Chain A
Amino acid sequence: DAGVTQSPTHLIKTRGQQVTLRCSPKSGHDTVSWYQQALGQGPQFIFQYYEEEERQRGNFPDRFSGHQFPNYSSELNVNALLLGDSALYLCASSTRGQNQETQYFGPGTRLLVL
């Protein structure tokens, strides 16, 4: 049973560029959440997708946007990259519903903005 997968593993971009990160959830999961983890910090919630709609959003600017596809996979897009966007971007999958709060994380995409 494949767990959560993310691509690419590493990415280097320049300030002002745009980036797209991809995530495939664990088999049987229908909800995808994205988190940003700065070096030495805990993950911070960006947003969550279910049935191809954004359901919750954290305190991140509109430069951060996402998408979920019919097969439950998801993309995170960041526009106009800033140096401060350098971080590990984590995707987590889960199943919506009562007592289904367990989130499983992928290995992350390490983004470096120069």
Chain B
Amino acid sequence: QQQVKQSPQSLIVQKGGISIINCAYENTAFDYFPWYQQFPGKGPALLIAIRPDVSEKKEGRFTISFNKSAKQFSLHIMDSQPGDSATYFCAASRNRLNTGFQKLVFGTGTRLLVSP
């Protein structure tokens, strides 16, 4: 059972354009939503994260938009660069029974290619 659905599966954007990746979740108990960037042969690296008490978070060229009522969140990459070409994963987690233990549930990934 996939709890986090991610789209699109792949994306091609011109240099300088805006890349948009969308995710939807089912479990309303999720309270932490990170985005990870993964290059081939490497582990995922945390890019930016948001909690459901805010609707938007921006760090440099990366912005997360969060819609709690729709149970959706998205990653926007402004002024996309060839170096942004990677696979992006959305994820979600919840503080299990307030124990402080959390496990990440990942989407299926979006392969982004930024053309020069």
| B-binding residues in A (CB < 8 A) | 4, 31, 33, 35, 40-45, 48, 50, 55-56, 58, 90, 92, 94, 96-98, 100-108
Q: Is B12 an interface residue (CB 8 A)?
A: no
The 8 lowest CB-CB distance pairs between A and B, nearest first, are A42-B106, A105-B43, A96-B100, A97-B100, A45-B103, A101-B102, A101-B32, A107-B43
26 contacts between A and B (CB under 8 A): A33-B103, A42-B106, A42-B109, A43-B89, A43-B104, A44-B106, A45-B104, A45-B105, A48-B101, A48-B103, A50-B101, A56-B96, A58-B103, A90-B44, A98-B95, A98-B100, A101-B32, A101-B93, A101-B95, A102-B34, A102-B46, A103-B46, A103-B102, A105-B36, A107-B43, A108-B42
Number of interface residues of B (CB under 8 A): 28
CB interface residues, B 20-48, toward A, < 8 Å: 32, 34, 36, 41-46
Q: Which residues of A contact B32 (CB under 8 A)?
A: 101
The smallest beta-carbon distance between A31 and chain B, in angstroms, is 7
* New A-B pairs, 11, CB < 8 Å, besides A43-B106, A44-B106: A4-B43, A42-B109, A45-B103, A48-B103, A96-B100, A97-B100, A98-B95, A102-B34, A105-B43, A107-B41, A107-B42
Q: Which residues of A contact B41 (CB under 8 A)?
A: 107
Q: Among A4, A35, A92, A103, which residue has the most Cβ atoms of chain B within 10 A?
A: A103
The smallest beta-carbon distance between B96 and chain A, in angstroms, is 7
The smallest beta-carbon distance between B109 and chain A, in angstroms, is 5
The smallest beta-carbon distance between B30 and chain A, in angstroms, is 11
Q: Is B7 an interface residue (CB 8 A)?
A: no
Known: A101-B32, A105-B44. A56 touches B100 (CB 8 A): no
Q: Is B13 an interface residue (CB 8 A)?
A: no
Q: Which residues of B contact A92 (CB under 8 A)?
A: 104
